[in-house]
Chain A
């Protein structure tokens, strides 16, 4: 029996896959399934709920705070991701050149990513403080403003402030990963194109970018996912304020589910994020990973 098992490719395959499958089922599928289920119930923290169908979702669709949180999340994700991409790409291109102290700069670039999020969030909370902001202080000293900037007290200022904090934190991930991608591009392509008389821009457009797109696709998918589900920065800096102007879906979900005890409703907010996340992944797969692009061609 044991011999038979050891010689069966199918049985062995199944056995080898089992630990991973158990882990996935236990720590990914079960919580996700439970979240979906809770979203259809009126469960409270510590109290099992009853099936209420789509009621949570119907309420959330008309709830002005949820609508605002959805807008904030989309705005936050779009602006922060675009900024992170361009800044990250720019940094990667710079670091890919033969600079002096290259290794030092590469290490420094990673610092924001290494600092625990909660700590960097506290630093930004001080930087943007209505009374103690170092930015306002410096601008005042330079005579450029005559009163402190209300970074976190005015809705649009607050949105851009938390985006700035997110970009600062997220750029290293994009930059270092794209740098790794850049280093996989063979110098012979650049040499060949230079012989053909290509300008630096043409080299970037027709050599670098197409060959970098698979990496860009992966990096930006992750970056969008991390930004869309961001929690810590917002929770520490604004707790969703002022006037809920920086509440993201994740922070609102926590506020309703854990602080407020409405587990069912909080789960529904979290599950409502899934279609947007799936959309981002699909865009990456079907948009950025097109083979024709990667081979320097156009869409057919």
Chain B
């Protein structure tokens, strides 16, 4: 099976990256030669914009975002109204707006949304290419989500809420590991050691939309996948079987109750000191670091982050919540909307936003990986590469209604939960998942 994209493919045709190769990494975002291309978008007279975005996960995100919005209005005179909705509510609203031709001009959506109604979105190739070339090139996942035909950009990538392994350094050391394991075998050994020491870890196995994504890593890292490149459902496979067997061993080390865990449960358990390791965004660390509680502040010093280990496939196979910026075709102010996205993605604004959000959002551009936010606190660094190592949830197939529906119906999460908890045999769980997924991918 050849993946539809890889690290190398994205380098092709990317002038910014070519320049980076010549000038060295540090020069990527600073070099005037790379800045040479310009894009001037003149907003329409009396333009006004409405932006619908997902509600912030950390307060610093929306604060910094609104500062940038204000700067844009001051610079261009374009009034911008920003509405916030829970991220899961943005999807149906965006779909209805796209198909009724009325609603916000710009929508910040998630995952495969742009692939649900590509013909209802404004072509933003000029902005995406300009930004991509200027800031070191987009990571491959951005192309998979937003440039599915290899030519036209359906939206401008914004980044991803990275989910990494969040752990207590002292407990991992006490379990006999001076460094965090980089491969699946040693990761399992660590989890077993933590369990034996009475400081177990735990990851969500309930219908958790965000924190259940670790199940994709489990399957992918062993070579399993829901569908192949032709959207044929192939989850019932030897690779998936191996993943589930590995998962069973992993599950035996978990703290009790993870089958019921929804998105907030692991945060609560970690902050209460009941688990030593879990998968999460940087929000746990953010909460402890900014807490007035001395105990939590103390915990912040002990928190460390690590990327998911590499499985038998030998490459990173991470699953994160990806963010898009879509301009709706019905907008009366296409230039203003594109100018807004361009402005927000420029380094002065984007860098400030990433910093304000405390590294919650991972960069979609290679050039922004050099921003100080990723190294100013070494605990931020693992989150930097979330988009770089990201696979879309519909991997390795095409994105659209089928991939969105299968993910929302928790097919993979349910399969993993059934098999590793022993409620079904791995074979039964795979067969059930295969049948359920075939329904979504039948068209």
Contacts and interface: CB of A to CB of B under 8 A. Distances in A.
Given A260-B409, A261-B404, A46 B116 contact: yes
B99 A150 contact: no
Contacts of B83: none
Contact of B257 (A63, A148, A155): A148
Contact of A241 (B116, B206, B409, B432): B206
A239 B262 contact: yes
Contacts of A258: 92
Nearest to B258: A153
B408 A261 contact: yes
B40 to A, nearest CB: 34
Interface in B375-431: 401, 404-406, 408-409, 414, 417-418, 421, 423
A256 B409 CA distance: 6
A154 B116 contact: no
Contacts of B269: 131
Contact of A150 (B117, B257, B401, B443): B257
A130 B414 contact: no
B91 interface: yes
Contact of A255 (B97, B100, B261, B409): B409
A153 B256 contact: yes
B296 to A, nearest CB: 16
Contacts of A44: 95, 116, 401
Interface bin, chain A: 35 or more
Given A239-B206, A243-B414, A148 B256 contact: yes
A148 B260 CA distance: 13
A48 B442 CA distance: 18
Contacts of A155: 423
A223 interface: no
A132 B95 contact: no
B206 A242 contact: yes
A155 B96 CA distance: 36
Contacts of B165: none
Contact of A46 (B99, B209, B259, B417): B99
Interface string B95-131: 1111110000000000000001100000000000000
Given A148-B257, A241-B207, A242-B205, A129 B262 contact: no
Which one of B88, B98, B262 has the highest number of Cβ atoms from chain A below 10 Å of its Cβ? Answer: B262
A63 B206 CA distance: 20
A98 interface: no
Nearest to A133: B257
Which one of A148, A153, A154 has the highest number of Cβ atoms from chain B below 10 Å of its Cβ? Answer: A153
B268 A131 contact: yes
Contact of B261 (A59, A63, A130): A130
Interface of B: 88, 91-92, 94-100, 116-117, 205-209, 255-262, 265, 268-269, 272, 274, 401, 404-406, 408-409, 414, 417-418, 421, 423, 432, 435-436, 439-440, 443
Given A238-B262, A262-B405, 15 more contacts: A45-B96, A47-B99, A64-B435, A64-B436, A129-B257, A129-B268, A150-B259, A153-B258, A238-B207, A239-B208, A241-B206, A241-B260, A259-B409, A260-B409, A261-B91
25 contacts: A44-B116, A46-B98, A46-B116, A47-B99, A47-B117, A129-B265, A130-B265, A150-B257, A152-B206, A153-B256, A153-B258, A239-B207, A239-B262, A241-B262, A241-B417, A242-B205, A242-B206, A242-B417, A243-B414, A243-B421, A243-B423, A256-B408, A260-B408, A261-B116, A261-B401
